[in-house]
Amino acid sequence: MTNKKFKIVVAYGTRPEIIKLAPLIIELRKRRNVELVVVNSGQHKEMVDDLELFFGIRSHYRFEVMTPNQSLNTILSKIVNETSRLFSKIKPDLVFVQGDTTTVFAIATACFYSGIKTAHVEAGLRSGDIYNPYPEEFNRRSVSLISNYNFAPTKASANNLIKEKVPRSKIYITGNTVVDALNIVLAKQKQKPGSSGLTKRILITAHRRENHGKGIENICNAVKKILSTRNDIEFIWPVHPNPNVVGPVKKILRDSDRVTISAPLSYIELVAEMNKAYLIWTDSGGIQEEAPSLKKPVLILRTVTERPEVITSGFGILVGTDIKKIVSITNRMLDSKSVYKKMVSGKNPFGDGRAAKKIVDIILR
């Protein structure tokens, strides 16, 4: 047994990244032969600060890269430069990144040019369209090419990597760490799932660039259509602050009864709302993964998804922003207990909540 301590960096910058990397950080802390360094790129400031506090994480280094209205190119170049300077000083043996954000792509690129090994958590997700979602599909494909370890959440994700000629020796199927994180949150909340009373609640989250404009308007009009024909439904929509989202939502739905339009929720609050919801409408990738763990059906407000497992397992239906499709499928699920029960009776395709331990065991083995 070697006495060498491995210097491992875990790097994140956005809310989805810290959610899915928190279980990994917690697991790495338990290992005696690991010197852990946590790096925060600063891409999402306030949202990440709250989660660091919740999970008991303190970043050793934090970049100050965000300024108003800057381009993706500017963010990318800043993070690459900050990463290169830091890593040349601390010299890590391995760097963990997660997902497909600009932070992930920038840090992995800096590692590649510096000859530092990288491990990609949640590798192999693919929509098949490099512009949808943009720029995430490009980011995740690129990171897979340069990572020394690709931790695929499912067999389908691993197969995507194999098709792209990623060496099999660099691919490991571990489940998704989002299940680990969700279990931590649920254990702290101790909240019973389900809506109270006779009114069923539908949670909506929608913010992606491809839905700006007509897409968001269609979602709002689908809400109005359902409310005009039913009195057993209420909606809650924590609205993204982007003017392309909050503008049309408030304009179309501000006078609608049984619609709660709120500011964005913290992750902890969002989990609580998902747990209370009868049904979820979303264009979020993370919520597609969390819904099966909570046994909630989800209508996916996108034309393609890089998480097809949520569909094949029965928990999700791809509806895009087609008003008729959203309304008809929602009504069918509200009216038929058997349809609803069938959707939520499948096995969680994203793992058993032990992904972080599997990943750390692989690295240290």
Active site residues: 100, 122, 136, 207, 209, 240
The size of the chain, in residues, is 365
**Cis (ω within 30 of 0) for the bond into 349?**
no
Give the CB-side neighbour count of residue 64, counting CA atoms within 13 A. 0
Rounded Cα distance between 24 and 97, Å, is: 11
**DSSP-based three-state secondary structure for 166:** coil
Sheet architecture: strand order including 34-40: 61-62, 34-40, 6-12, 94-98, 117-121, 149-152, 171-173
For residues 155-176, one letter each, b for 16 or more C-beta atoms within 10 angstroms of the residue's C-beta and e for the rest, the string is: ebbbebbeeeebeeebbbbbbb
Closest to 261 measured CA to CA, from 321, 219, 232: 219
Q: Which residue reads 């809506």 in tokens?
A: 195
**Cis (ω within 30 of 0) for the bond into 135?**
yes
Residues facing 318 on adjacent strands:
300
Rounded Cα distance between 31 and 4, Å, is: 12
- Residues with Cβ within 8 Å of 148's Cβ and at least 6 positions away in sequence, in order, are 94, 117, 118, 119, 170
The single-letter code of the amino acid at 57 is I
Residue 255 to residues 93, 201, 224, 243, 248, Cα–Cα distance (Å): 56, 18, 10, 19, 13
- Residues with Cβ within 8 Å of 1's Cβ and at least 6 positions away in sequence, in order, are none
Sheet architecture: strand order including 279-282: 259-262, 233-238, 200-205, 279-282, 298-300, 316-318
**DSSP-based three-state secondary structure for 174:** coil
